[in-house]
Amino acid sequence: MDSEKSSGRRRCVSIWRKIRERGLTPANVISYGCLRIMQDGGRLLGTLRLLGKAAFLGVRVGPGVRAHGPVGLMRWPGSRIEIGAGCSFISSWRRATAATVLAPCRLRTFGPEARIVLGEGCELTGAALTARSTSITLGRQVMLAPNCIIVDSDFHAPWPPERRSLDPGLEHDAPVSIGDHAWLGMGCMVLKGVSIGHGAIIGAGSVVTRDVPPLCVAAGAPARVVRQLTPCEAAGLCVPPEEGLREAVDVGHAANVQSGGDMAARDGMAGE
């Protein structure tokens, strides 16, 4: 007991010294304290809610999974949702950094054959994954920036037009696969039947309608390859040049303007 008290005193003294050394005002100290309480409390509560909901719904969750805020889980009977070890879900504006979170993370299956599998160490921020009749698979350490959407279906048959609202078009569904260490920027949409290679970077606001090769930067609507990562970048030995990433953003914006935001670049538009 005495050792615990001594350790607590030393920690308090250390914190006080840091405050004085950095010249922090009381307002700064209070602001930082409130921020830590909100973040740590939100993570604890969100993780407990996720684990409880997963156990109740039969969702497999690996060790070390964390959730900041609520996570929506909806598993159709007979379908499968698996969350790998060390995955992180950010569903709260208190934890999101560069953008607000429009809605909590959501994993949803719509049929007994559907499955969603997240590899180890994936990071999702306000992302929605919906598998209707096939699969959505994320490799290890895939990063989804705020408000990404991934679907395996158009949810309506594109033809004939007069039957779109009635025909679910199940025969058109196709699986989605995203390789290890891929990174999807803010507001990306990945449509059915797409395979994104390992290490690929998808620019913010892109609509991915066709396969993306490994170790490249792709952007636009529909997304197109802007450039390949250099061997140095691919090996993680150097930082990608800022000019290359800026080029991806510029090309993506130009493609969005040119296409008029048309997301029906293939045989149908995804939407419910």
Catalytic residues: 156
Q: Where are the beta strands (DSSP E) in the chain?
A: 60-61, 66-68, 71-74, 80-83, 88-90, 105-109, 115-118, 123-125, 128-131, 135-138, 143-144, 149-151, 176-178, 183-184, 189-190, 195-196, 201-202, 207-208, 216-220, 223-228
Q: For residue 70, is the peptide bond before it cis, meaning its omega torsion is within 30 degrees of 0?
A: no
- Please count the CA atoms within 13 angstroms of the CA of 157 that sit on its side-chain side: 12
Closest of 126, 270, 99 to residue 190, by C-alpha: 270
Alpha-carbon distance of 239 to 233, in angstroms, equals: 6
Alpha-carbon distance of 89 to 68, in angstroms, equals: 6
